[in-house]
Structure 1
Amino acid sequence: MTTEAGAGRRSSKWSFPWRTAALVMAVGQVISAVLSRLFGGEFTSADRPGEPPIVPAGWTFSIWIVVEALSLAYAIWALPERRPNRAVRDALAAPLTVVFAGFSCWLAAAEIEPVWATVAIFAVMIAGLLRAMSIAMRYRRTIAGWPGMPRHLLWWMLGIYTGWSTIAIWVNLTTAFVGSGAPSTGPVGIVGQMAVLAGATATAVTILRWANGLLPYTLAALWALLGAVFGAIGAQQTLLAGAAAAGAAIVIAAGVPAWRHRGRIADWASGRITAGE
């Protein structure tokens, strides 16, 4: 059985600065996002001309406001020494620092070299998110003993951040190919984007099963795929809209068995269970 003591043995005397760094980077996410919205270039503008049809509709990117708020709230809660299970919070802080810093780096790269640098940074962010989620799942029974507010903050932050990001990186890959000269329309462009949607769906289903139907992850992945549906409809690409809708249906179908197990939807709503149970 995994215990907090096990996390403590892997925690070094430098672990507290990681929690401080996580808070600094969480604040940096908010600041960089505000600056990007005020002064950002074309690549970070919603519904920009010439973008691939499967890029989610502009309004769906409002999910980043939720991500930024949850990240900041959790980082503030996790910082003080008096909070429970310091070793678990320390173990989570390092990958979350990488993720939060990556967010700001992604926005900077979008202004400097938005083609492939953004994809590489997104990949690092997702690696950090999966590492943080793996740690949280390993110590899920310890985390279940936290007060309700921080417990929900952690799982919803991890779920929404990872759910959106694991779909968004596939879309980012599409924009990179188009930015490198690949077509976004015509038979080649349509087939390529259908392959991207298939990859995004497969990724979501794989992580959803790994996390035993983590509800926040599911909702964020569905939000991203729904955005792709409306993006394709706006671009008058009915086939791509149908493919994105099919992906959303597959994600829902993958989550149903986990949610039905022990009344999982009601348990998620009340906070009685967490990922991996």
Structure 2
Amino acid sequence: MRVTSGTAPTTNSPSVRPLRWITAALALTQLAAPLVVTALAGNFLQTGATNQALITPAGYAFSVWGVITLLSAVIALAVLRFGLGSPWESSLLIDACLVFVGYSGWLAVAAQGWLWASVVVAAVMVGALIHILLLLVRRRDDLTCPSWLATLTTLGFGLYLGWLGAAIFANVAAALIGSGVSATGMWWQLVILVAAAAFAVMLTTLLRAPWGYLAGALWALVAITIGAAQRDSPVISVTAGAAALVVVAATVRVRRAQRP
């Protein structure tokens, strides 16, 4: 393990330093993007197909975006100051830039009602986040940054992936409803929910169960449980609750397997 416990900055290569500045700037745009889009398009998440699906998370859950975007900004600024000090830092920062640009793009296309386009954007973001977490978890020994920065970066991007990796399935449901599929159809939404649970278990195993990912996935699944109950869909609600328990069980299993 080469992650340091001190606060001394790592060496800055000429190629990665500008990328750190770009990443930090794009991370900060995430804080302003919701305000701009809401001012131009209103609160689109409360209307239309984006809020009709039975597997839509309860309204309070979307507040997690504030935590995610703030954490992203803090992480990007910390990386600007200290660097990650790994041979793959540039690759991670490029993925992070893609995620941060994708967030603003997702808001823009969703606000226009281009729901399938929003699914594509979210899928690209999820792919980039998976690669980021794979680097942070599976190649952690390459890091020479302060240990708190390695932990914070893994936590922040894990939370981002946990939430978005589940929410994208609700986006698919919204896109189908926008295409004419019945919003009250339970069985097809149940299939999507089971797929979301299977995806979460797969990522839990692939990424070695980082705590940030667990927190994001559980936040989404519990919110779907509550949202479905509010929409008088007990089958969806119970299934989402069971999915949350399965993800917890998968985390416990993976964590136990990692013990020496």
What TM-score do you get using the length of structure 1 for normalisation? Answer: 0.82
1:93 aligns with 2:89: no
**Greater Cα offset, 23-32 or 110-119:** 110-119
Question: Which one-letter code corresponds to 1:247 in the other structure?
Answer: A
C-alpha distance 46-96 of structure 1, shift in aligned 2 (>3 A): farther
Q: Which amino acid aligns with 1:149?
A: W
Q: What is the aligned counterpart of 2:188 among 192, 196, 207?
A: 192
The 1:72/1:98 distance shift into structure 2, 3 A limit, reads: same
Match of 1:206 in 2: 202
Q: Is the 8 A contact 1:57 1:231 kept in 2?
A: yes
- Between stretches 162-171 and 145-154, larger displacement belongs to 145-154
Whether 1:254 aligns to 2:250 is: yes
Match of 1:110 in 2: 110
Q: Is contact 2:115-2:178 (8 Å) kept?
A: yes
Contact in 2 for aligned 1:229/1:245 (Cα 8 Å): yes
Q: Is the 8 A contact 1:43 1:114 kept in 2?
A: no
Deviations 1:91-119 (A, max 9, x none): 31000000000000001111224321100
Q: Which residue does the alignment assign to 1:120?
A: 120
Task: Note the 1:170-181 alignment, pairs <5 A.
Answer: 170-181=169-180
Superposed CA offset, 1:138-163 (max 9, x none): 421133x5324312220111110010
Q: Which residue number in structure 2 is paired with residue 223 of structure 1? A: 219
Q: Are residues 1:152 and 2:137 paired?
A: no
Q: What corresponds to 1:4 in structure 2?
A: none
Question: Which range is displaced more, 87-96 or 100-109?
Answer: 87-96
Percent of residue pairs bearing the same amino acid type: 30
> In structure 2, how many angstroms separate the alpha carbons of the residues matched to 1:122 and 1:225?
18
Provide closer, same or farther for how the CA distance between residues 99 and 49 of structure 1 changes in structure 2, counting only shifts above 3 A. Answer: closer
Once the two structures are overlaid, the 10-residue window that deviates more, 82-91 or 206-215, is: 82-91
Number of equivalences: 251
Which amino acid counterpart does residue 62 of structure 1 have in structure 2? Answer: S
Aligned Cα RMSD in Å? 2.6
Task: Return closer, same or farther for 1:140/1:116 CA change in 2, 3 Å cut-off.
Answer: same
Q: Residue 47 of structure 1 contacts residue 58 of structure 1 at CA under 8 Å; is this kept in 2?
A: no
1:48-59 matched pairs, under 5 angstroms? 51-59=52-60
1:267 counterpart residue number: none
Cα deviation 1:203-248 (Å, max 9, x = unaligned)? 0000000111211111110110000011101101111101111111
Q: Relative contact order (alpha carbons < 8 A, sep ≥ 6): 1 or 2 greater?
A: 2
One-letter code aligned to 2:231: A
**Counterpart code for 1:213:** A
Note the C-alpha offset of 1:50.
5.8
CA contact (8 A) 2:224 2:240 kept: yes
**Partner residue, 1:141:** 141
Deviations 1:16-62 (A, max 9, x none): 33222211110111110232345543533389896112100011111
The correspondence of residues 233-272 of structure 1 with structure 2, limited to 5 A, is 233-261=229-257
The residue type paired with residue 105 of structure 1 is: G
- 1:74: which partner in 2? 75
**Matches of residues 38-49 of structure 1 in structure 2 within 5 Å?**
38-45=39-46
Amino acid paired to 1:96? A
In structure 2, the partner of 1:7 is none
Equivalent pair of 1:42/1:48 in contact (CA under 8 Å): no
The answer to whether the Cα contact below 8 Å between 1:36 and 1:44 also exists between their aligned partners in 2 is no
Please name the residue that 2:35 is paired with: 34
Unmatched 5+ stretches in structure 2: 2-12
- When residues 142 and 163 of structure 1 are mapped into structure 2, their CA distance, relative to the original with a 3 A threshold, is same
Pair 1:54–1:84, CA change in 2 (3 A): closer
Instruction: Give the aligned residue type for 1:99.
Output: V
Structure 1 runs not aligned, ≥5 long: 2-11, 264-276
- Structure 1 residues 262, 137: CA separation in 2 closer, same or farther (over 3 Å shift)? closer
What is the TM-score when the length of structure 2 is the normalising length? 0.87
How far apart in 1 are the matches of 2:175 and 2:192?
12
CA–CA separation in structure 1 for the residues paired with 2:100 and 2:52: 26
Per the alignment, do residues 87 and 262 of structure 1 end up closer, same or farther by CA in structure 2, a change over 3 Å counting? Answer: closer
